[in-house]
Amino acid sequence: MNRRAELGSPIASSEITPRDVFEQRRTLIRAAAAGAFGAALSPLFARSAFAQTASPNAGSVKLASKANPQFMLDEKLTSYKDVTTYNNFYEFGTDKADPAKNAGSLITRPWTVAVEGLVKNPKVYDIDELLKLAPLEERIYRMRCVEGWSMVIPWIGVPLAELIKRVEPTGGAKYIQFITLADKKQMPGLSIPALDWPYVEGLRMDEAMNPLTLLTFGLYGEVLPKQNGAPVRLVVPWKYGFKSAKSIVRIRFTDTEPKTSWNVAAPQEYGFYSNVNPDVDHPRWSQSSEQRIGDGGGKLFPPKRKTLPFNGYAAQVASLYTGMDLKKFF
Ligand SMILES: Nc1nc2c(c(=O)[nH]1)N[C@H]1C(S)=C(S)[C@@H](COP(=O)(O)O)O[C@H]1N2
Ligand SMILES: [Mo]
Protein backbone atom coordinates (compact mmCIF):
# COMPACT_ATOMS: atom_id res chain seq x y z
CA MET A 1 0.00 0.00 0.00
CA ASN A 2 1.35 3.41 -0.92
CA ARG A 3 1.02 5.76 1.98
CA ARG A 4 1.73 9.27 0.75
CA ALA A 5 2.87 11.72 3.33
CA GLU A 6 0.61 14.44 4.58
CA LEU A 7 1.93 17.32 6.54
CA GLY A 8 -0.67 19.11 8.49
CA SER A 9 -3.05 17.08 10.59
CA PRO A 10 -3.94 19.79 13.12
CA ILE A 11 -2.33 18.88 16.42
CA ALA A 12 -4.47 17.40 19.14
CA SER A 13 -4.25 19.13 22.50
CA SER A 14 -3.26 15.79 24.01
CA GLU A 15 0.00 16.03 22.07
CA ILE A 16 0.95 19.32 23.66
CA THR A 17 3.31 18.62 26.48
CA PRO A 18 3.23 20.89 29.51
CA ARG A 19 6.53 22.72 29.84
CA ASP A 20 8.45 24.46 32.54
CA VAL A 21 8.67 28.21 32.83
CA PHE A 22 12.14 29.67 32.39
CA GLU A 23 12.15 33.08 33.99
CA GLN A 24 15.90 32.89 34.52
CA ARG A 25 16.50 32.59 30.81
CA ARG A 26 14.43 35.67 30.05
CA THR A 27 16.70 37.73 32.27
CA LEU A 28 19.77 36.29 30.56
CA ILE A 29 18.33 36.98 27.13
CA ARG A 30 17.60 40.60 28.02
CA ALA A 31 21.16 41.00 29.28
CA ALA A 32 22.55 39.47 26.10
CA ALA A 33 20.31 41.57 23.88
CA ALA A 34 21.60 44.65 25.67
CA GLY A 35 25.05 43.51 24.61
CA ALA A 36 26.38 43.51 28.14
CA PHE A 37 26.80 39.87 28.97
CA GLY A 38 26.90 38.09 25.66
CA ALA A 39 29.82 35.97 26.77
CA ALA A 40 28.07 35.03 30.00
CA LEU A 41 25.40 33.28 27.96
CA SER A 42 27.72 30.42 27.11
CA PRO A 43 25.87 27.23 26.23
CA LEU A 44 26.93 25.50 29.42
CA PHE A 45 25.56 28.29 31.53
CA ALA A 46 22.44 28.60 29.41
CA ARG A 47 21.80 24.90 29.62
CA SER A 48 22.21 24.85 33.38
CA ALA A 49 19.36 27.32 33.60
CA PHE A 50 17.19 24.56 32.14
CA ALA A 51 18.48 21.70 34.18
CA GLN A 52 14.91 21.02 35.34
CA THR A 53 14.19 19.54 31.92
CA ALA A 54 15.28 15.92 31.75
CA SER A 55 17.36 15.02 28.73
CA PRO A 56 16.13 12.02 26.74
CA ASN A 57 19.65 11.81 25.30
CA ALA A 58 21.63 10.90 28.37
CA GLY A 59 25.32 11.34 27.64
CA SER A 60 24.75 13.84 24.86
CA VAL A 61 27.85 15.75 23.83
CA LYS A 62 28.41 19.40 24.72
CA LEU A 63 29.17 21.87 21.95
CA ALA A 64 30.79 25.17 22.88
CA SER A 65 29.59 28.35 21.20
CA LYS A 66 29.17 32.03 21.86
CA ALA A 67 25.74 33.62 22.06
CA ASN A 68 25.22 36.16 19.29
CA PRO A 69 23.31 39.01 20.98
CA GLN A 70 21.97 40.12 17.58
CA PHE A 71 19.92 36.94 17.37
CA MET A 72 18.49 36.53 20.85
CA LEU A 73 14.73 36.57 21.35
CA ASP A 74 12.89 37.70 24.44
CA GLU A 75 10.53 34.72 24.28
CA LYS A 76 10.27 31.60 26.38
CA LEU A 77 12.30 28.75 24.99
CA THR A 78 10.49 25.56 24.10
CA SER A 79 11.62 22.88 26.55
CA TYR A 80 14.51 20.65 25.56
CA LYS A 81 12.17 17.71 25.95
CA ASP A 82 9.62 19.05 23.46
CA VAL A 83 12.35 20.14 21.03
CA THR A 84 13.80 16.62 21.02
CA THR A 85 10.68 14.44 21.21
CA TYR A 86 8.11 16.27 19.03
CA ASN A 87 9.77 16.09 15.61
CA ASN A 88 9.23 15.81 11.89
CA PHE A 89 11.90 13.60 10.30
CA TYR A 90 10.02 11.27 7.98
CA GLU A 91 13.08 9.13 7.30
CA PHE A 92 12.44 7.78 10.81
CA GLY A 93 8.64 7.62 10.64
CA THR A 94 5.74 10.01 10.23
CA ASP A 95 4.57 10.17 13.84
CA LYS A 96 5.89 13.09 15.91
CA ALA A 97 7.34 10.62 18.44
CA ASP A 98 9.01 8.38 15.82
CA PRO A 99 12.27 10.29 15.23
CA ALA A 100 13.22 10.29 18.93
CA LYS A 101 12.40 6.58 19.10
CA ASN A 102 14.04 5.47 15.85
CA ALA A 103 16.89 7.84 15.00
CA GLY A 104 19.37 6.02 17.22
CA SER A 105 20.36 3.97 14.14
CA LEU A 106 21.65 7.06 12.32
CA ILE A 107 25.45 6.99 12.02
CA THR A 108 26.67 10.58 12.24
CA ARG A 109 30.43 9.94 12.09
CA PRO A 110 32.32 9.78 9.85
CA TRP A 111 30.21 12.23 7.84
CA THR A 112 30.99 14.29 4.78
CA VAL A 113 29.15 16.99 2.89
CA ALA A 114 29.92 17.29 -0.83
CA VAL A 115 29.70 20.88 -2.06
CA GLU A 116 29.42 20.89 -5.84
CA GLY A 117 27.86 22.35 -8.97
CA LEU A 118 28.37 25.92 -10.11
CA VAL A 119 31.26 26.82 -7.80
CA LYS A 120 34.94 27.57 -8.39
CA ASN A 121 36.05 25.42 -5.46
CA PRO A 122 33.98 22.23 -5.20
CA LYS A 123 35.00 20.21 -2.17
CA VAL A 124 33.99 17.29 -0.01
CA TYR A 125 33.99 18.66 3.52
CA ASP A 126 34.45 16.46 6.54
CA ILE A 127 32.03 17.33 9.33
CA ASP A 128 34.97 18.31 11.56
CA GLU A 129 36.14 20.79 8.94
CA LEU A 130 32.65 22.29 8.71
CA LEU A 131 32.58 22.71 12.47
CA LYS A 132 35.70 24.90 12.16
CA LEU A 133 34.51 27.05 9.27
CA ALA A 134 33.74 29.98 11.54
CA PRO A 135 33.18 30.58 15.27
CA LEU A 136 30.12 28.67 16.43
CA GLU A 137 27.26 30.95 17.46
CA GLU A 138 24.27 30.33 19.66
CA ARG A 139 21.11 31.92 18.23
CA ILE A 140 17.55 31.71 19.46
CA TYR A 141 15.11 31.36 16.56
CA ARG A 142 11.36 31.11 16.31
CA MET A 143 10.44 28.04 14.20
CA ARG A 144 7.04 27.61 12.53
CA CYS A 145 5.90 24.31 11.02
CA VAL A 146 3.46 24.46 8.11
CA GLU A 147 1.21 22.22 10.21
CA GLY A 148 0.45 25.11 12.53
CA TRP A 149 2.72 24.63 15.53
CA SER A 150 5.77 26.59 16.54
CA MET A 151 8.75 26.46 18.89
CA VAL A 152 11.56 28.73 20.11
CA ILE A 153 14.90 26.94 19.91
CA PRO A 154 18.47 27.88 20.88
CA TRP A 155 20.49 26.61 17.90
CA ILE A 156 24.26 26.43 17.43
CA GLY A 157 25.72 27.02 14.01
CA VAL A 158 27.44 29.32 11.55
CA PRO A 159 25.95 31.47 8.81
CA LEU A 160 25.60 29.38 5.67
CA ALA A 161 27.17 32.38 3.90
CA GLU A 162 30.53 31.38 5.44
CA LEU A 163 30.50 28.15 3.44
CA ILE A 164 29.15 29.80 0.28
CA LYS A 165 31.95 32.40 0.31
CA ARG A 166 34.61 29.70 0.56
CA VAL A 167 33.40 27.68 -2.43
CA GLU A 168 32.96 30.82 -4.59
CA PRO A 169 29.78 30.38 -6.64
CA THR A 170 30.22 31.18 -10.33
CA GLY A 171 28.16 33.93 -11.98
CA GLY A 172 25.59 31.39 -13.17
CA ALA A 173 24.79 30.03 -9.70
CA LYS A 174 21.31 31.26 -8.75
CA TYR A 175 20.03 28.57 -6.38
CA ILE A 176 21.29 25.98 -3.93
CA GLN A 177 19.85 22.51 -3.45
CA PHE A 178 20.30 20.65 -0.16
CA ILE A 179 20.34 16.87 -0.45
CA THR A 180 19.99 14.79 2.69
CA LEU A 181 20.95 11.25 3.63
CA ALA A 182 18.82 8.41 2.28
CA ASP A 183 20.10 5.08 3.60
CA LYS A 184 17.61 2.26 4.11
CA LYS A 185 19.99 0.53 6.50
CA GLN A 186 19.88 3.47 8.90
CA MET A 187 16.46 4.96 8.19
CA PRO A 188 13.41 2.74 8.65
CA GLY A 189 11.05 5.40 7.22
CA LEU A 190 12.58 5.02 3.75
CA SER A 191 10.72 1.74 3.25
CA ILE A 192 7.50 3.78 3.18
CA PRO A 193 7.24 5.83 -0.02
CA ALA A 194 6.02 8.84 1.93
CA LEU A 195 8.21 11.17 -0.13
CA ASP A 196 10.61 10.73 -3.04
CA TRP A 197 13.81 10.07 -1.15
CA PRO A 198 16.26 11.57 -0.61
CA TYR A 199 14.55 14.51 1.07
CA VAL A 200 15.67 17.57 -0.88
CA GLU A 201 15.23 21.29 -0.30
CA GLY A 202 16.39 24.49 -1.90
CA LEU A 203 16.95 28.20 -1.52
CA ARG A 204 17.55 31.10 -3.87
CA MET A 205 21.13 32.38 -3.60
CA ASP A 206 20.18 35.62 -1.82
CA GLU A 207 18.10 33.66 0.71
CA ALA A 208 20.99 31.30 1.30
CA MET A 209 23.36 34.26 1.81
CA ASN A 210 21.03 36.04 4.25
CA PRO A 211 22.68 36.32 7.69
CA LEU A 212 19.70 34.52 9.31
CA THR A 213 20.29 31.30 7.33
CA LEU A 214 22.16 29.01 9.68
CA LEU A 215 24.22 25.91 8.96
CA THR A 216 23.38 24.18 12.19
CA PHE A 217 25.32 21.67 14.29
CA GLY A 218 23.75 21.88 17.72
CA LEU A 219 20.98 23.00 20.04
CA TYR A 220 20.72 23.76 23.75
CA GLY A 221 24.52 23.72 24.10
CA GLU A 222 24.91 20.21 22.69
CA VAL A 223 25.62 18.58 19.35
CA LEU A 224 22.36 18.06 17.45
CA PRO A 225 20.38 15.08 18.70
CA LYS A 226 19.90 12.65 15.82
CA GLN A 227 16.15 13.30 15.68
CA ASN A 228 16.88 16.99 15.08
CA GLY A 229 19.04 16.36 12.01
CA ALA A 230 22.53 15.42 13.19
CA PRO A 231 25.26 16.05 12.35
CA VAL A 232 24.40 19.05 10.18
CA ARG A 233 21.14 20.64 9.05
CA LEU A 234 19.81 23.91 7.76
CA VAL A 235 17.73 26.37 9.80
CA VAL A 236 15.79 29.00 7.85
CA PRO A 237 13.58 30.68 10.47
CA TRP A 238 11.39 32.86 8.19
CA LYS A 239 10.20 29.85 6.20
CA TYR A 240 8.04 26.88 7.16
CA GLY A 241 9.99 24.19 9.00
CA PHE A 242 10.20 21.79 6.08
CA LYS A 243 12.70 24.11 4.35
CA SER A 244 15.15 23.38 7.19
CA ALA A 245 16.57 20.13 5.79
CA LYS A 246 18.10 17.65 8.24
CA SER A 247 21.20 15.45 7.96
CA ILE A 248 22.61 17.08 4.82
CA VAL A 249 25.15 15.16 2.69
CA ARG A 250 25.30 17.25 -0.49
CA ILE A 251 24.98 20.95 -1.33
CA ARG A 252 24.59 21.70 -5.02
CA PHE A 253 24.75 25.12 -6.69
CA THR A 254 22.44 25.38 -9.72
CA ASP A 255 21.26 27.87 -12.33
CA THR A 256 17.61 26.80 -12.16
CA GLU A 257 15.14 26.36 -9.31
CA PRO A 258 15.93 22.96 -7.77
CA LYS A 259 13.41 20.27 -6.93
CA THR A 260 12.14 20.24 -3.35
CA SER A 261 10.53 17.16 -1.80
CA TRP A 262 7.31 18.70 -0.50
CA ASN A 263 6.71 20.62 -3.72
CA VAL A 264 7.10 17.41 -5.72
CA ALA A 265 4.75 15.56 -3.33
CA ALA A 266 1.98 18.21 -3.35
CA PRO A 267 2.74 21.20 -5.60
CA GLN A 268 -0.63 22.85 -4.97
CA GLU A 269 0.07 22.85 -1.21
CA TYR A 270 3.81 23.53 -0.92
CA GLY A 271 5.61 26.04 -3.09
CA PHE A 272 9.34 26.59 -3.52
CA TYR A 273 9.40 29.71 -1.34
CA SER A 274 7.26 28.63 1.60
CA ASN A 275 7.77 31.85 3.49
CA VAL A 276 5.70 31.95 6.67
CA ASN A 277 2.70 34.02 5.58
CA PRO A 278 -0.47 34.46 7.65
CA ASP A 279 -2.22 35.88 4.55
CA VAL A 280 -1.77 32.80 2.38
CA ASP A 281 -3.73 29.85 3.73
CA HIS A 282 -2.77 26.27 3.10
CA PRO A 283 -5.48 24.78 0.84
CA ARG A 284 -6.67 22.65 3.75
CA TRP A 285 -6.27 25.00 6.74
CA SER A 286 -5.66 28.59 7.80
CA GLN A 287 -2.14 29.83 8.41
CA SER A 288 -3.21 32.94 10.35
CA SER A 289 -2.49 31.52 13.79
CA GLU A 290 -0.30 28.91 15.43
CA GLN A 291 0.03 26.73 18.49
CA ARG A 292 3.27 27.43 20.36
CA ILE A 293 4.28 24.06 21.76
CA GLY A 294 4.14 24.30 25.54
CA ASP A 295 1.60 27.14 25.70
CA GLY A 296 -1.31 26.62 28.04
CA GLY A 297 0.22 23.47 29.56
CA GLY A 298 -2.43 20.76 29.61
CA LYS A 299 -5.43 23.00 28.85
CA LEU A 300 -8.03 21.45 26.57
CA PHE A 301 -7.95 24.50 24.29
CA PRO A 302 -4.53 26.08 24.66
CA PRO A 303 -4.39 29.70 23.48
CA LYS A 304 -3.20 30.28 19.92
CA ARG A 305 -0.86 33.01 18.77
CA LYS A 306 -1.14 35.17 15.69
CA THR A 307 1.30 34.07 13.01
CA LEU A 308 3.59 36.92 11.95
CA PRO A 309 4.62 37.68 8.35
CA PHE A 310 7.95 35.96 7.67
CA ASN A 311 7.58 34.40 11.12
CA GLY A 312 8.51 37.74 12.72
CA TYR A 313 11.66 38.25 10.62
CA ALA A 314 10.15 40.68 8.09
CA ALA A 315 12.62 43.44 8.96
CA GLN A 316 15.49 41.16 7.98
CA VAL A 317 14.07 39.41 4.91
CA ALA A 318 11.00 41.16 3.42
CA SER A 319 13.25 43.11 1.05
CA LEU A 320 14.32 39.86 -0.62
CA TYR A 321 10.84 39.65 -2.12
CA THR A 322 10.01 43.20 -3.19
CA GLY A 323 8.00 43.19 -6.39
CA MET A 324 7.05 39.52 -6.01
CA ASP A 325 3.43 38.42 -5.65
CA LEU A 326 3.73 36.25 -2.54
CA LYS A 327 0.31 34.70 -3.19
CA LYS A 328 1.65 33.37 -6.47
CA PHE A 329 5.13 32.55 -5.19
CA PHE A 330 3.97 30.84 -1.98
N1 LIG B 1 15.60 15.26 6.05
C2 LIG B 1 14.48 15.80 6.59
N3 LIG B 1 14.52 17.08 7.01
C4 LIG B 1 13.41 17.64 7.56
C5 LIG B 1 12.19 16.92 7.65
C6 LIG B 1 12.19 15.57 7.20
O7 LIG B 1 11.16 14.86 7.26
N8 LIG B 1 13.35 15.05 6.68
N9 LIG B 1 11.08 17.53 8.20
C10 LIG B 1 11.03 19.01 8.15
C11 LIG B 1 9.91 19.57 8.92
S12 LIG B 1 8.34 19.39 8.27
C13 LIG B 1 10.12 20.30 10.07
S14 LIG B 1 8.83 21.10 10.84
C15 LIG B 1 11.46 20.39 10.68
C16 LIG B 1 11.40 19.93 12.12
O17 LIG B 1 12.62 20.11 12.78
P18 LIG B 1 12.76 19.71 14.32
O19 LIG B 1 12.19 18.33 14.46
O20 LIG B 1 14.21 19.79 14.63
O21 LIG B 1 11.96 20.72 15.10
O22 LIG B 1 12.43 19.59 10.01
C23 LIG B 1 12.36 19.63 8.59
N24 LIG B 1 13.49 18.94 8.01
MO1 LIG C 1 7.06 21.06 9.35
Q: pLDDT of 104-117, one tens digit each?
A: 999 999 999 999 99
Tell me which of 80, 89, 226 to substitute to probe ligand 1's pocket, judged by most ligand atoms within 8 Å of the beta carbon. 89
Residue nearest to atom 1 of ligand 1 (CA): 246
Q: CA 209, 226, 108, 214: dihedral to nearest 10 degrees?
A: 10
Q: How far is the CA of 241 from the centre of ligand 1 (A)?
A: 6
Q: How far is the CA of 158 from the centre of ligand 2 (A)?
A: 22
* Ligand lying nearest the CA atom of residue 96: 1
Task: Give the pLDDT mean for 6-32.
Answer: 41
Closest CA to 159 of 235, 88, 90: 235
Is the shortest distance between the CB of 150 and ligand 1 below 6 Å? no
Backbone torsions φ then ψ of 215, nearest 5 degrees = -85, 115
Share of the chain above pLDDT 70, in %: 82
The pLDDT of residue 38 is 32
Q: How far is the CA of 223 from the centre of ligand 2 (A)?
A: 21
Is the shortest distance between the CB of 180 and ligand 1 below 6 Å? yes
Task: Give the pLDDT mean for 309-318.
Answer: 98
Is the shortest distance between the CB of 89 and ligand 1 below 6 Å? yes
Is the shortest distance between the CB of 234 and ligand 1 below 6 Å? no
Is the shortest distance between the CB of 228 and ligand 1 below 6 Å? yes
3-state SS string over the chain?
CCCCCCCCCCCCHHHCCCCCCCHHHHHHHHHHHCCCCHHHCCHHHHHHCCCCCCCCCCCCCECCCEECHHHCCCCCCCCHHHHHHCCCCHHHCCCCCHHHHHHHHCCCCCCEEEEEECECCCEEEEHHHHCCCCCCEEEEEEEECCCCEEEEEEEEEEEHHHHHHHHCECCCCCEEEEEECCCCCCCHHHHCCCCCCCCEEEEEHHHHHCCCCEEEEEECCEECCHHHCCCCEEECCCECHHHCCCCEEEEEEECCCCCCHHHHHCCCCCCCCCECCCCCCECCECCCEEEECCCCCCCCCCCCEECCHHHHCHHHHHHHHCCCCCCCCC
Task: Give the pLDDT mean for 38-48.
Answer: 37
Residue 147, Cα to own-chain centre: how many angstroms?
14
**How far apart, in Å, are the Cα atoms of 236 and each of 11, 47, 97, 189, 243?**
22, 23, 23, 24, 7
More confident residue, 187 or 59: 187
The amino acid at residue 211 is P
Count of positions (residues) in the chain: 330
pLDDT at 43 over 60: no
Are 173 and 115 contacting, i.e. CB atoms less than 8 angstroms apart? no
The pLDDT mean for the chain works out to 87
The pLDDT of residue 18 is 30
Residue nearest to atom 6 of ligand 1 (CA): 89
pLDDT at 50 over 90: no
Residue nearest to atom 12 of ligand 1 (CA): 242
Is the shortest distance between the CB of 241 and ligand 1 below 6 Å? yes
What is the distance between the alpha carbons of residues 178 and 197, in angstroms, rounded to a whole number? 12
177: pLDDT confidence band, cut at 50, 70 and 90? Answer: very high
Is the shortest distance between the CB of 94 and ligand 1 below 6 Å? no
The pLDDT of residue 298 is 82
pLDDT at 230 over 50: yes
Are 130 and 113 contacting, i.e. CB atoms less than 8 angstroms apart? yes
Domain ranges of the chain: 67-321
pLDDT at 141 over 50: yes
What is the distance between the alpha carbons of residues 223 and 139, in angstroms, rounded to a whole number? 14
- Domain 67-321 in CATH 2.30.130.60? The answer is no
What is the distance between the alpha carbons of residues 78 and 53, in angstroms, rounded to a whole number? 11
pLDDT at 51 over 50: no
Task: Give the pLDDT mean for 10-23.
Answer: 36
Q: How far is the CA of 7 from the centre of ligand 2 (A)?
A: 7
Q: How far is the CA of 135 from the centre of ligand 1 (A)?
A: 25
The pLDDT of residue 296 is 87
The pLDDT of residue 60 is 86
Residue nearest to atom 21 of ligand 1 (CA): 87
Share of the chain above pLDDT 90, in %: 79
Tell me which of 146, 179, 216, 246 to substitute to probe ligand 1's pocket, judged by most ligand atoms within 8 Å of the beta carbon. 246
